[in-house]
């Protein structure tokens, strides 16, 4: 009644090959020098029995699980999925597994989840855009090794992030170049790190372009936030809108269409992230392409560096690329 597959144990192999446990272990890990003939006998026995060392037992004795945890706020967000995807493939290439923890947007659950999954893994990659700086700072030391994604540099833990500030600045310049002088920033979740970066970009832009005005409209991070903000946006009198991200832009786009407000003739709209669907909106969305897969791969690189005992770069910053599509055009007035 073999409940566990691969139930053959190292003892079985040792018996079959007529050697001791240690010898089998050595051969399997091609450690030390083992007599060629013995080694062959062991290999044959292992093959015949279909033996593979129990990852669990190895984890316990070696103190490492070959697994890392990734905490994400919500798998509904394509950006996090992209990061997860890049990360998981990069880790797999190095023989590591990925445990995924979806915090379901429960900010207060994130720390618990991270701590909990950390115990069954060798490290955790934290995507927690909403967690407060204070909580993050308190949490990170207990997680070592850890990697933080899309937050400002942290003390003691490497950060991998897209440079949203510069990216958003590029979007502002793009609109300014098209003659827009009055813009609106349809903001993201209050107090989120992501929103703070965009606001900084807004401040930068204002400084860079005297005469430019940017109204700030409260928003959120999803479709509905965008759709709900139409009136507030139009009330600003802006000719161009910088949506927090592509999802928000898409929500806005759909409600603008219903209201017969033409894009970009009446109003230019930009997104951020360049999720795969951004080029299929009507009109196709001008946005900043965030290299999510790269971000994930870099996050893994930072984790691996620590796992191997080295020091990872304190912060890597990836530059999003401006993608001008048809949702932006010359200013209406």
Partner DNA sequence: CTGTTAGCGCATTCAC
Partner DNA sequence: GTGAATGCGCTAACAG
Query: Which option in a copy of itself, DNA, none does residue 108 bind, with CB closer than 5 to 8 A by kind?
Result: none
Taking CB under 8 A as the criterion, the residue among 21, 47, 48, 100 binding a copy of itself is 100
**218: DSSP letter:** -
Distance CA 74, CA 127 (A): 10
Residues pairing with 323 in the sheet:
287
φ/ψ of residue 37, rounded to 5: -70, -45
- State the binding string over 201-230 for a copy of itself (x if CB under 8 A, else -): ----------------------x-------
As measured in angstroms, the least distance from the Cβ of 57 to DNA is 3
As measured in angstroms, the least distance from the Cβ of 52 to DNA is 7
Query: Which option in DNA, a copy of itself, none does residue 132 bind, with CB closer than 5 to 8 A by kind?
Result: none
Task: Confirm or reject binding of residue 317 to DNA (CB under 7 A).
Answer: no
Taking CB under 8 A as the criterion, the residue among 279, 313, 314, 330 binding a copy of itself is 279
* Burial call 279-314: b when 16+ CB within 10 Å, e when fewer: eebeeebbbbbbbbbbbbbbbbbbbbbbbeeeebee
Contact by Cβ (8 Å): 307, 145: yes
Contact by Cβ (8 Å): 214, 268: no
Sign, CA torsion 270/318/74/103:
negative
Query: Which option in a copy of itself, DNA, none does residue 38 bind, with CB closer than 5 to 8 A by kind?
Result: DNA
Residues of this chain, 25-84, that bind DNA according to CB under 7 A? 25-26, 28-29, 31-35, 38-39, 51-54, 56-58, 60-63
Residues of this chain, 124-143, that bind a copy of itself according to CB under 8 A? 142-143
Distance CA 292, CA 161 (A): 10
Residues of this chain, 59-88, that bind a copy of itself according to CB under 8 A? 59-60, 63, 65, 67, 75-76, 81, 84-85, 88
Residues 6+ away with beta carbon under 8 Å from 90: 296, 297, 300, 301
Of 91-99, 149-157, 191-199, 200-208, which segment contacts a copy of itself by CB under 8 A?
91-99
**Residue ranges that bind DNA, judged by CB under 7 A:** 4, 7, 9-11, 18-26, 28-29, 31-35, 38-39, 51-54, 56-58, 60-63
């Amino acid at each position: 009644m073999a409940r566990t597959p691969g139930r053959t144990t190292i003892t079985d192999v040792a018996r079959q090959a007529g050697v001791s446990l240690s010898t089998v272990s050595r051969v399997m890990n091609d450690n030390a020098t083992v007599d060629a003939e013995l080694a062959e006998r062991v290999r044959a026995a292992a093959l015949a029995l279909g033996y593979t060392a129990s990852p669990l037992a190895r984890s316990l004795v070696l103190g490492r699980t070959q697994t890392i945890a990734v905490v994400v706020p919500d798998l509904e967000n394509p950006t996090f999925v992209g990061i997860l995807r890049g990360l998981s493939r990069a880790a797999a290439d190095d023989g590591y597994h990925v445990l995924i923890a979806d915090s379901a947007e429960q900010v207060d659950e994130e720390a618990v989840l991270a701590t909990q999954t950390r115990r069954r893994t060798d490290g955790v990659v934290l995507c927690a855009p909403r967690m407060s700086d204070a909580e993050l700072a308190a949490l990170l030391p207990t997680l070592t090794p850890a990697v933080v994604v899309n937050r400002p540099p942290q003390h003691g833990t490497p950060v991998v992030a897209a440079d949203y500030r510069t990216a958003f600045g590029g979007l502002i310049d793009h609109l300014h170049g098209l003659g827009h002088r009055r813009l609106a920033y349809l903001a993201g979740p209050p107090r989120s790190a992501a929103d703070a970066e965009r606001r900084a970009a807004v401040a930068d832009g204002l400084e860079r372009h005297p005469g430019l005005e940017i109204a700030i409209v409260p928003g959120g991070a999803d479709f509905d936030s965008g759709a709900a903000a139409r009136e507030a946006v139009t009330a600003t009198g802006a000719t161009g809108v910088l949506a927090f991200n592509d999802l928000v832009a898409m929500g806005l786009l759909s409600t603008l269409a219903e209201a017969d407000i033409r894009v970009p003739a009446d109003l230019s709209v930009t997104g951020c992230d360049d999720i795969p669907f951004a080029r299929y909106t009507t009109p196709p969305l001008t946005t900043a392409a965030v290299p999510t897969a790269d971000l994930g791969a870099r996050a893994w690189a930072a984790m691996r560096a620590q796992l191997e005992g080295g020091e990872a770069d304190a912060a890597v910053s990836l530059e999003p690329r401006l993608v001008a599509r048809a949702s932006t055009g010359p200013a209406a007035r």
